[in-house]
Amino acid sequence: MNQNIETNPLLDRLPPHLQQYIKPQDYNEYTAINQAVWRYVMRKSVSYLSTVAHHSYLDGLQKTGISIDTIPSMYGMNRILKEIGWAAVAVDGFIPPNAFMEFQAYKVLVIASDIRQLEHISYTPAPDIIHEAAGHAPIIANPDYAEYLRRFGEIGAKAILSAHDNDMYEAVRKLSIVKEAPGSTESEIEAAENRVNELQAKKVELSEMAMIRNLHWWTVEYGLIGDVNDPKIYGAGLLSSIGESKWCMTDEVKKIPYSVDAAYKEFDITQPQPQLYVTPDFSYLMQVLEEFTNTMALRKGGFRGLRKLIESKKIGTIELSTGLQVSGVFTEMITNEDNEVVFFRTEGPTALSNREKELIGHGVATHPHGFSSPLGKLKGINLAIEDMSPRDLKAYSFYDGERIAFEYESGIKVEGLNVTGIRNINGKLILIQFTDCTVTYKDKVLFKPEYGTFDLALGKKIVSAYAGAADYNSFDATHFISETQTVKAEISQEDQNLEMLYGKVRDFRTEKDTSIALESIFETLVNEHPKDWLLLVELYELTKNEEDLHQTIKNRLYHLQETRPEIADLVTDGIELIA
């Protein structure tokens, strides 16, 4: 597989904090068994989904470079995806939710390049290339859905997490890794499942990210579309799961008209979904998303938005009514009797921006230990500094180089030497710098001269609050990398021998080597690997013209169905594909 294929120019636009998650797709690591797993799932999926999936699915497979017979190369996908304005990158399993959403906002599909084990061919809790490439990619060929996905990423990247969300992310990532790792013990899997169940059982207030995650799950992952009584599948989780794509079409799964209520409906990733939501069309998804966005701190700001940022303990941004943006880890706020924020504080590296661009001289190097400022109107004037005209500023002694003392309606007092001010593009003051400055509130000192220069943020109120930095260049890495790493399986000699048999059959089928004796491979398989069934299915397909061997293999498959009931349905499906 040639990896020197043209990549997608969209990837060059990705900021460094997203690029840190990208890993190369080493195509040579895919084994012949991996290829057989891909081929089985795709053949079965396309055969069944052609009747129950949204019409965009089959066309989308071709438009996004997804082959039924071969695991896709990310390089080949990018060459094709750029024609519809998208790109794809490989990542290491689950990545933090804000980062995942932000990739979508840049129109980049995140693909976990690992593939599920043969033992988990029907379903795996771990993100894998079957789920990501064969599930997500085809539907984005539909322009309405692609724009929904982009817009969802744009909004989702700003959703504020809670500490509980961080714990849940780590627990789910660990469970997915442990379940997929061949060497995991039953006790390790049980411990990982218990941790997820323990967190899911906690009665905590849903954060913005939790609600966004719910909307994403019930649409992008497990969405149905069309008539409630006869819906079609478009969710990637259903498109990539043989079992669930069938289960979801039965009457045992309740079908609910999609609405913003789905944001409050949680899910269990370890169980089939007992209910699913049906959207009438893709444009309605956007309508619900906008309805939900109107409830977010991104648009409402205020003390609730700042409180969410404080509780998240992560880098976030508030935007003031002047357009000044403050990014950092928020730790404190003071509110008045009307619950209006009259003072805020960050701790640690902080950056100030306007219109998503860091203000010159106001990055983390200038504010390494935090930032604080009062907000609101001045006492006795009923006017915010931001609304003062040049004549007002002169009247109230806001002169550069002059000492000044003033009090806010909240009772916060500021006294210091006015050094200079910074204005926004419209000419409004957004920041005033003071030296030898003291800021007090009642009997509490909020800022002392020995702290250094005091930068007064101007703004009557907080108009927006969201996760992440206003200017992504302000911080080295807004998101974090999990300490739980994926596990590479160690291949035993027995497994290596089985891989060789799969490889020979693949070479025969692709006409790389047609001299291979299939009967000999069958005998070796039965004698040395008696539990394997997928290679039997492949042999059954290739021996159609050898009636006796074909029937012998079929009898062996029937025998496995009786002795291994857990794979009986998989064998039946395999036989039906060939019949």
Residue-level pLDDT at 477 = 67
Are the CB atoms for 329 and 348 separated by under 8 Å?
yes
Q: Which residues fall within 8 angstroms of residue 356, CB to CB, at 6 or more apart?
A: 325, 470, 471
Identify the CA nearest to 209 among candidates 328, 308, 325, 330.
Answer: 308
Coil, strand, or helix at residue 518? helix
CA distance 158 to 297: 9
**Statement: residue 480 has pLDDT above 60:** no
pLDDT band at 65 (very low <50, low <70, confident <90, very high): confident
**Statement: residue 2 has pLDDT above 50:** no
543-561 average pLDDT score:
94
List pLDDT tens digits, range 207-217. 999 999 999 99
Residue-level pLDDT at 487 = 56
pTM for this prediction: 0.85
Residue-level pLDDT at 204 = 81
**Statement: residue 188 has pLDDT above 50:** yes
The neighbouring-strand residues paired with 152 are: none
Q: Which residue has the tokens 């008209």?
A: 257
426-440 average pLDDT score:
93
Residue-level pLDDT at 50 = 86
Let me know how many helices (H) and strands (E) the chain has, helices first: 21, 17
- 353 token code pair: 């921006």
CA distance 501 to 523: 11
The neighbouring-strand residues paired with 433 are: 420, 455
List pLDDT tens digits, range 140-173. 989 999 999 999 999 999 999 988 888 887 888 8
By CB atoms closer than 10 A (0-12, 13-18, 19+), residue 464 is buried
- Report the Cα–Cα distance between both ends of the chain, in Å, rounded: 31
232, 263, 266 from 204: Cα distances, Å? 34, 15, 12
Q: Which residues fall within 8 angstroms of residue 478, CB to CB, at 6 or more apart?
A: 17, 98, 315, 468, 469, 472
**Statement: residue 81 has pLDDT above 50:** yes
Identify the CA nearest to 213 among candidates 225, 200, 228.
Answer: 200
- 289 token code pair: 């998303």
More confident position, 504 or 241:
504
Of all helices (H) and strands (E), which one includes residue 326? Answer: strand 324-335
Residue-level pLDDT at 190 = 87
404-418 average pLDDT score:
95
In 424-482, beta strands by DSSP E: 429-441, 444-447, 454-457, 462-467
Going by the DSSP 8-state scheme, the letter that residue 212 receives in this structure is H
Q: How many CB atoms lie within 10 A of CB 516?
A: 15
CA distance 522 to 560: 14
Task: Give the number of residues written for the chain.
Answer: 579
pLDDT band at 336 (very low <50, low <70, confident <90, very high): very high
Mean pLDDT of the chain: 89
419-423 average pLDDT score:
90
**With pLDDT > 90 as the criterion, what percentage of the chain qualifies?**
57
Residue-level pLDDT at 33 = 94
CA distance 347 to 293: 28
**With pLDDT > 70 as the criterion, what percentage of the chain qualifies?**
95
pLDDT band at 364 (very low <50, low <70, confident <90, very high): very high
- 193 token code pair: 């499942």
457-467 average pLDDT score:
96
List pLDDT tens digits, range 10-42. 888 888 889 888 888 888 889 999 999 999 988
In 11-96, beta strands by DSSP E: 87-91
Q: Which residues fall within 8 angstroms of residue 98, CB to CB, at 6 or more apart?
A: 156, 157, 159, 161, 209, 467, 468, 478, 479
Residue-level pLDDT at 488 = 61
The neighbouring-strand residues paired with 256 are: 277
Helices (H), 234-339: 236-239, 242-247, 282-293, 297-300, 302-312
Are the CB atoms for 276 and 262 separated by under 8 Å?
no
Q: Which residue has the tokens 């089928």?
A: 509
Residue-level pLDDT at 214 = 95
CA distance 135 to 236: 4
Of 27-31, 432-436, 477-481, the poorest mean pLDDT is in: 477-481
**Statement: residue 468 has pLDDT above 90:** yes
CA distance 118 to 365: 51
pLDDT band at 3 (very low <50, low <70, confident <90, very high): very low
CA distance 32 to 53: 29
Residue-level pLDDT at 10 = 86
Q: Which residues fall within 8 angstroms of residue 338, CB to CB, at 6 or more apart?
A: none
